[in-house]
Chains A and B, each alone.
Chain A
Amino acid sequence: MAAKVRIPTPLRKLTNDEEVVEVNPGTIAGTIAELQTRFPGIKERLLDENGGVRRFVNVYVNEEDIRFLQNQDTPVKDGDEISIIPAIAGG
């Protein structure tokens, strides 16, 4: 088993159109590092120059925003589902 990352449309060019990518357990920071190794260039799409998650990128672990968890230190376990989603307007 592994954790699953759902890749949003704007990033699928980097993942050869793969919608779901399996990653090893660890933390969100580790997940992003692993994605970068496998899909070079993806890290700078997600993180700003200071290493923080970009302000229009929302990351969820099992449907919970990581800003309500431990941000990039949020643990990632086997079977977890990670979503990366752009901020959306509306009301």
Chain B
Amino acid sequence: MKALKCRECGREYPLAATHVCEFDFGPLEVLYDYALIKKSLTRATIESRPHTMWRYRELLPVAEGPTVGTQVGFTPLIKADRLAKALGIRELWIKNDAVNYPTLSFKDRVVSVALSRAKELGFTTVACASTGNLANSVAANAASAGLKAYVFIPSDLEQGKIVNSLIYGAQVISIKGHYDEVNRLCAEIAGKYGWAFVNVNMRPYYAEGSKSMGFEIIEQLGWRLPQHTVVPMASGSLLTKIHKSYQEMSKLGLVAETPWHMHGAQATGCNPISQAQKAGLDFFKPVKPNTIAKSLAIGTPADGFYSLKVMKESHGHAEDVTDDEIRDAIKLLAECEGIFAETAGGVTVGVAKKLIASGKIPAKDSAVLCITGNGLKTLDAVTGHCGQPREIKPSLREFEALLAAEKQSPVTA
């Protein structure tokens, strides 16, 4: 790490807990010494290290190495042949962060970086504003690191995500409002207390953790870049950071630079970025979210502007899907690949289906779908939509009657 730099005006700042440019409020980003990294970081070095996201540690913003979340990452990249056939594409891969360690979402990547850096900077209390997954990850990783945690969530979150924060002993503050309102409050709180707010004053470090998902995709594909990557968008940060990971590995000569396309997925009930992309705009209009994909329900996406830029530069597209399409896609992924994703995963698969059907992702190409969270956390969204168990007495006769009835009218649900 060399410094923090404003993405808007280029002013540089010291590597402290600060996230916006004092001049224009532009987001600050970590600057690296790529010339130095290039000298030491090779494929062989990376391959010799443990299978975690920290095998790419030179490209992650901690000074002394990780101290929190040392086991995070290196989730499976699955060749999804059955789903490929269902969606009508030659080759399809699922990057499955639904089984990321320890809290079953990609957020463990960003939190391990943010908390490792927070400890380096001397913080003892950490906090976040969250649509659920981030709260779970901050709560769990803070517990294991012995840090005090405050997590702020919108009050309408899924029960699974609330319990998944409380269990670790975190202070869970439920705000009567949607995420954008939680965020606004947290911005004001962060200015007042000396806490490491992972997505506020720690954001430059936090956000970089997402790059590890992209590094892993490249390595797991056999050190090549995917042609198409479909990424769910809430604030839009993950899409821009996976793009950055592809740029960095190309720049460092770790992968041959072949063209890649970044595609963004949103829910129709919260689609400020995809709406703008489809209308050909380079700015978005905030919306009030109303979707079952609560983890993506950010109406004022902080990285919306940069996501639009990345999609434009990489000749990618954005699309959005309705609540019914999200549920159908969750089922399709589960039935084809045995992967149970949360609602955001339904958004990604549903959008991929649309982009392939419209030819925006050509059927002859290869694509990677980023699944970012686990379906067990959003059971509410699909309960009642995936059939019911059929109850019988413990009697062979009743079971055979059930099978006979099934033969006459097959159950498809």
Q: Which residues of A pack against B, CB within 8 Å?
A: 6, 8-11, 13, 45, 54-58, 60, 63, 65, 67-68, 83, 85-91
Given contacts A54-B24, A55-B283, A68-B286, contact A91 B133 (CB under 8 A): yes
Please state if A58 and B133 are interface contacts (CB–CB under 8 Å): no
A-B contact pairs, 21 of them (CB 8 A): A8-B187, A13-B22, A54-B24, A54-B25, A56-B305, A58-B184, A63-B181, A63-B184, A65-B180, A67-B285, A67-B286, A68-B286, A85-B188, A86-B187, A87-B25, A87-B302, A89-B206, A90-B128, A91-B131, A91-B234, A91-B296
Most central of A13, A57, A65, A90 by chain B CB within 10 Å: A90
Please state if A89 and B20 are interface contacts (CB–CB under 8 Å): no
How long is the Cα–Cα vector from A89 to B298 in the complex, in angstroms? 9
Q: Name B227-270 residues within 8 Å CB distance of A.
A: 234-235, 237
How long is the Cα–Cα vector from A83 to B187 in the complex, in angstroms? 10
Chain A residues in 8 Å Cβ range of B24: 45, 54, 56
Contact with A along B108-144 (1 / 0, CB 8 A): 0000000000000000000011110110000000000
Partner pick for A90 among B25, B134, B191, CB 8 A cutoff: B134
Chain B residues in 8 Å Cβ range of A85: 184, 187-188
Please state if A83 and B184 are interface contacts (CB–CB under 8 Å): yes
Please state if B187 and A88 are interface contacts (CB–CB under 8 Å): yes
Partner pick for A86 among B19, B131, B303, CB 8 A cutoff: B19
Chain B residues in 8 Å Cβ range of A11: 22
Chain A residues in 8 Å Cβ range of B73: none
Given A58-B184, A67-B286, A91-B130, 20 extra CB contacts under 8 A: A8-B187, A54-B24, A56-B24, A56-B25, A60-B184, A85-B184, A86-B20, A87-B27, A88-B129, A88-B199, A88-B200, A88-B235, A88-B302, A89-B207, A90-B129, A90-B234, A90-B298, A91-B131, A91-B199, A91-B235
Contact with A along B189-207 (1 / 0, CB 8 A): 0010000000110010011
Chain B contributes a number of interface residues (CB within 8 A of A) equal to: 45
Chain B residues in 8 Å Cβ range of A54: 24-25
How long is the Cα–Cα vector from A36 to B201 in the complex, in angstroms? 27
Contact with A along B285-325 (1 / 0, CB 8 A): 11010000001101010110100000000000000000000
CB-nearest residue of chain A relative to B131? Answer: A91
Please state if B27 and A56 are interface contacts (CB–CB under 8 Å): yes
How long is the Cα–Cα vector from A6 to B192 in the complex, in angstroms? 12
Give A77 Cβ to nearest chain B Cβ, in Å: 20
How long is the Cα–Cα vector from A67 to B24 in the complex, in angstroms? 19
Please state if A58 and B300 are interface contacts (CB–CB under 8 Å): yes
Give A13 Cβ to nearest chain B Cβ, in Å: 7
Chain B residues in 8 Å Cβ range of A68: 286, 288
Partner pick for B305 among A55, A60, A67, CB 8 A cutoff: A55
CB-nearest residue of chain A relative to B190? Answer: A9
Partner pick for B25 among A13, A67, A86, CB 8 A cutoff: A86
